[in-house]
């Protein structure tokens, strides 16, 4: 087994995954806020933030779709070793990771059902830059308005109209990330 597959996970999994999980929950509760997340050193092209999110949220019961450049042996082997997560196509995944363009089209992912709206996908979108500027956001967890640099606006506006169904998004860049749950109105 190659050394890079074995390395890059949390050094203290219990503590670091608890901190990372808290950060993810905080980001989902406060859409548009940018959070630091550390502890993972995944193989390229994954960012440290994406690696930490995957280590925290994925396990043997959470199928993952790797889109575009993320679908490579290094990422597959690393994720399989550290999480045991199975790989699936977009229509059957719980988490998908890649760049915005690689994850398209959004219609390929599960948005839940009226009986089980929680059976939808969460897309982890790798970005080169992430800032609290640009597109305005409002809704639950946002006092007044927030702003977040989104790759486009129309797709997120359409997603919000599907509520209580729809996709949830995590945007990662370097060791930072932000969340955009389906409850957020994008203006």
Q: List, for residues 31-78, the tens digit of each pLDDT value.
A: 999 999 999 999 999 999 999 999 999 999 999 999 999 999 999 999
Number of domains in the chain: 1
pLDDT greater at residue 7 or residue 25: 25
The pLDDT tens digits for 146-172 are 999 999 999 999 999 999 999 999 999
- Pull the structure tokens for residue 173: 């860049």
Task: Provide the pLDDT confidence category of residue 6 given band limits of 50, 70 and 90.
Answer: confident
Give me the CATH number covering residue 108. Answer: 3.40.50.11310
Strand pairing of 168-173 and 176-180?
antiparallel
The pLDDT tens digits for 82-138 are 999 999 999 999 999 999 999 999 999 999 999 999 999 999 999 999 999 999 999
Task: Provide the pLDDT confidence category of residue 4 given band limits of 50, 70 and 90.
Answer: low
| Backbone φ, ψ for residue 65 (5° rounding) | -110, 125
* pLDDT for the residue 7: 86
Report DSSP state, residue 68: G
Task: Provide the pLDDT confidence category of residue 3 given band limits of 50, 70 and 90.
Answer: low
- Does 30 score more than 80 pLDDT? yes
- Does 10 score more than 90 pLDDT? yes
Dist. CA 165–CA 108, nearest whole Å: 14
Give the DSSP letter string of 99-158: -HHHH--GGGS-B--SS-TT-B-EEEEE-S---S-SEEEESTT-SS-EEE--S-SHHHHH
Domain that holds residue 134: 3-186
């Amino acid at each position: 087994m190659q050394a890079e597959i074995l390395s890059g996970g949390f050094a203290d999994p219990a503590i670091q995954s608890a901190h990372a999980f808290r950060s993810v929950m905080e980001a989902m509760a406060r859409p548009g806020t940018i959070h630091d997340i550390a502890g993972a050193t995944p193989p390229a092209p994954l960012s440290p933030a994406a690696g930490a999110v995957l280590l925290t949220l994925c396990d043997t019961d959470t199928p993952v779709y790797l889109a575009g450049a993320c679908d490579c042996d290094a990422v597959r082997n690393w994720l399989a070793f550290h999480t045991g997560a199975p790989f699936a196509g977009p229509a059957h995944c719980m988490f998908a990771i890649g760049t915005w363009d690689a994850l398209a089209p959004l219609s390929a992912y599960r948005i839940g059902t009226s009986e089980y709206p929680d059976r939808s996908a969460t897309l982890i979108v790798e970005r080169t830059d992430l800032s609290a500027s640009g597109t305005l956001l409002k809704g639950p967890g946002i006092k007044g308005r927030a702003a977040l640099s989104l790759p486009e606006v129309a797709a997120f506006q359409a997603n919000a109209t599907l509520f209580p169904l729809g996709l949830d998004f995590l945007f990662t860049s370097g060791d930072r990330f932000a969340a955009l749950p389906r409850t957020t109105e994008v203006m």
